[in-house]
Amino acid sequence: MAMKAVILAAGRGKRMNHLTNETPKPLLTVKGKTLLRHKLDALPREISEVIIIVGYFGDKIRKHLGDSYGGRKITYVEQGTLDGTAGALHAAKHLLQDGHFLVMMGDDLYGAADISRMLLHPWALLAERVKMPKRGARVVLGEGNRIERIEERAELTPGEYNNTGLYMLGPKFFEYPLVACSPDEFGLPQTLVQAVRDVSVRVVEATEWFQITAPEDILAAEKFLQKTSHDATRVH
């Protein structure tokens, strides 16, 4: 069944310092390919259209990809005011009323197998099982592996789940009021938590995910991709 994917790519990525002075973060290059292309190449065949939310240097993203990529239509939506991840998704609300859809961050790296497993559920969140103590967004589970709540800026311990920012959602998401995560931003996970009263939001455990938040993460991401490609070759 044909499905849409939304990539949130409007932000500047201020923590990347000089790297994003003239380049939007999703166009930074890792292993010879932009972060956006890594994401597009990982999408399963069920995704027939990609909606990219643009803002900071959005014209460069449009020029980089054009109106199609890999046989998929690309539609651009401008996020006029950078009011958070939920605000970004709401900017594309008019394009997302005809079925469930995938949502992913424009900078992190996701594995193709994990994305495919997300499509098996109408509502889902990809979560990393933490191996070492770290700061992140704790995903608290209830009965039947259903999400009960998400705790931002939490100190996570091994075995807990950390939100990776990859979601399967339905049009019903837009029925819930936007929830602020800061004085001028609305958060997608904070808004999503309201839906767990009405729908079963499942957790899919990530096998490949790399978060890029600082300049040094670019080199680390290249090593991550080398390892994952080596592991895939070894398996086959």
State the total domains in the chain: 1
What is the rounded distance in angstroms from the CA atom of residue 26 to the CA atom of residue 106? 5
Q: Which residue has the higher pLDDT, 72 or 223?
A: 72
Owning domain of residue 83: 3-123+164-185+205-235
Span 157-215, pLDDT tens digits = 999 999 999 999 999 999 999 999 888 999 999 999 999 889 999 999 999 999 999 99
Q: If phi over 0 gives left and psi between -120 and 50 gives alpha, with beta otherwise, what is residue 13?
A: left
Confidence at 41, pLDDT banded by 50, 70, 90:
very high
Closest CA to 189 of 222, 211, 220, 162: 162
φ/ψ of 25, rounded to 5, equals: -55, -40
Does residue 111 sit within a domain?
yes
Confidence (pTM): 0.93
Which percentage of the chain shows pLDDT scores above 90?
A: 79
pLDDT value for 230: 43
pLDDT value for 113: 96
- Within 94-201, strands assigned E span 101-105, 109-110, 124-129, 134-141, 147-156, 161-169, 180-182, 185-186
Is the pLDDT at 1 greater than 90? The verdict is no
pLDDT value for 229: 58
Span 141-160, pLDDT tens digits = 988 778 888 999 999 999 99
Does residue 95 sit within a domain?
yes
Does residue 72 sit within a domain?
yes
Is the pLDDT at 236 greater than 60? The verdict is no
The stretch 58-77 carries a mean pLDDT of 97
Average model confidence (pLDDT) for the chain? 92
pLDDT value for 44: 96
Contact status, residue 164 vs residue 117, Cβ threshold 8 Å = no
Does residue 175 sit within a domain?
yes
CATH code for the domain in which residue 14 is found: 3.90.550.10
Which residues sit opposite 126 in a β-bridge?
A: 166, 204
